[in-house]
Structure 1
């Protein structure tokens, strides 16, 4: 799988692309996936049941399996609709999560499960009373549709907003509770793809804090040269990641507790990563980008 790099894609203009009106809520995600080399014909959506969240009855289930089913049912409020955008994405033929879930390292929860979780499996609680996220006196529950691999973070939408076609997405972030991750489900799934695909399908160069300490002005040079892509900070595993873009390049800047790196340069081409590395200067001296991992 390789991306076509005949034409430069300037992710410095991504905020304008994000704000532009679209005929389909998946149009921009489709463009991004193709820009990084994904071709939709590489998987068959008919391999997946369009009603995956509707289990068939099985007369041969043993008691343990029935108990598990009862627990699973307790985690779901069937009276709440599943937002249209989430249903669309789940069976969308260009869904890269369905094509290769290992690119994403998250667990789907479909149908969405409640927080607080009456079975105790889910980690997060409800949105606390008095939170500015929701009006007073309403439903404080959250419907989680995806979780980090160890459930350190969970992404969902407010149960009170389940009737919206494309509601905003909240993320659980430890002591902070729930915060807004993205302005809609469709924006969240675009954001997730931007966080996952370039680092696997593109050229990469990681920069740690001790590298940046070699030139305190390097980070300011980089963020001045590459504009913010217009998305909210990505909150995961104590991270607080802002995306910046340039020609054939996406830069991940982790402003949180960065265990692995503060910056990750990801490029559709090796040259794009080398150009950003040259701008950083000393922090990237004598460093070569890593090639795509597929």
Structure 2
């Protein structure tokens, strides 16, 4: 990794008028991801381990086989971007799903889920996403590993090539997660890959005891990457970028308030100095082995 990548300029790359999948491929390459040899991709039409487990319990209890399309509205089209993503030959999710710890939903299941499996409700009335009297359903295409929260697009936008993505956030209902499906998958990679392939450290706000609050330090030295805040398991995390580094700061309920990932040890060390963190070798995680990605 000889070329320095300034992720402080990532928002410009995200907004550029070009195929979003090119950006996903570039980002994966920059952090050192390669498709593992001899590995078949996750089939589009497959059941998640979690869903299979719950279904098996249900069938054991009732003695009846569950209808696999019970939660699906087969009259709704599938957005073009979602099928494109599944078929990408460099898709780090389909070839290395253990990097992500999420479960895909295909075919797309509705929220609220007629089968009773999905945990989230539909949109409340009123809401900022559809007009009064509009379709309050959502089409779920990805879920946190234990289905504690889910990501979906509006059923009313199912006919769009690349619709908006919402995240379920418990009692607060649904919030905007990404301006499109293609942007969502770039964001998902930005959240998952750097901490695996980069030099990383996870810290709390109290690890920066002297001087201004850490968020002020981050905003003074690094630029937003152009994404909506990441929402998962109570997290509300903003992503910032700089030379060879991504800094995440959470104001929600993430395990760590600050996570810094550098493409090199020097990049991580430079960010530590900039933010005023006293280096502790025991807390720093080096890049993980390739076999752990499969």
Using the size of structure 2 for normalisation, the TM-score is 0.88
1:118 and 2:114 correspond = yes
**Structure 2: distance between partners of 1:228 and 1:286:** 24
1:245 and 2:241 correspond = yes
SS of 2:239 mapped into structure 1: strand
Q: 1:119 to 1:145 in 2, by over 3 A?
A: same
1:25 and 2:20 correspond = yes
SS of 2:226 mapped into structure 1: coil
1:287 matched residue in structure 2? 280
Q: 1:261 to 1:41 in 2, by over 3 A?
A: closer
Deviation at 1:51, TM superposition (A): 5.6
Q: Which runs of 5+ in 2 are unaligned?
A: 48-57, 290-294
CA contact (8 A) 1:75 1:117 kept: yes
Q: CA offsets, 1:156-180, max 9 Å, x none?
A: 1011100000000011001110111
1:257 and 2:253 correspond = yes
SS of 2:136 mapped into structure 1: coil
1:211 matched residue in structure 2? 207
CA contact (8 A) 2:150 2:167 kept: yes
1:12 matched residue in structure 2? 8
**Structure 2: distance between partners of 1:133 and 1:218:** 33
CA contact (8 A) 1:222 1:276 kept: no
Q: CA offsets, 1:72-91, max 9 Å, x none?
A: 31101111111110011112
Taking the TM superposition and a 5 Å limit, the aligned residue runs for 1:68-107 are: 68-70=65-67, 72-107=68-103
Q: How many residues align?
A: 275
1:196 matched residue in structure 2? 192
Q: CA offsets, 1:196-250, max 9 Å, x none?
A: 0001111101111221344444432222111011111111111111000001000
1:34 matched residue in structure 2? 29
CA contact (8 A) 2:10 2:225 kept: yes
1:143 matched residue in structure 2? 139
1:163 matched residue in structure 2? 159
Q: 1:111 to 1:43 in 2, by over 3 A?
A: farther
Deviation at 1:39, TM superposition (A): 2.3
Q: 1:269 to 1:179 in 2, by over 3 A?
A: same
Q: Higher mean Cα deviation, 284-293 or 113-122?
A: 284-293
1:234 matched residue in structure 2? 230
Q: CA offsets, 1:26-65, max 9 Å, x none?
A: 01011000001112474666x5556659xxxxxxxxx949
Q: Which runs of 5+ in 1 are unaligned?
A: 54-62
**Structure 2: distance between partners of 1:81 and 1:92:** 20
Q: 1:100 to 1:41 in 2, by over 3 A?
A: closer
Q: Higher mean Cα deviation, 10-19 or 202-211?
A: 202-211
Give the superposed CA RMSD: 2.0
Q: 1:44 to 1:257 in 2, by over 3 A?
A: closer
SS of 2:269 mapped into structure 1: helix
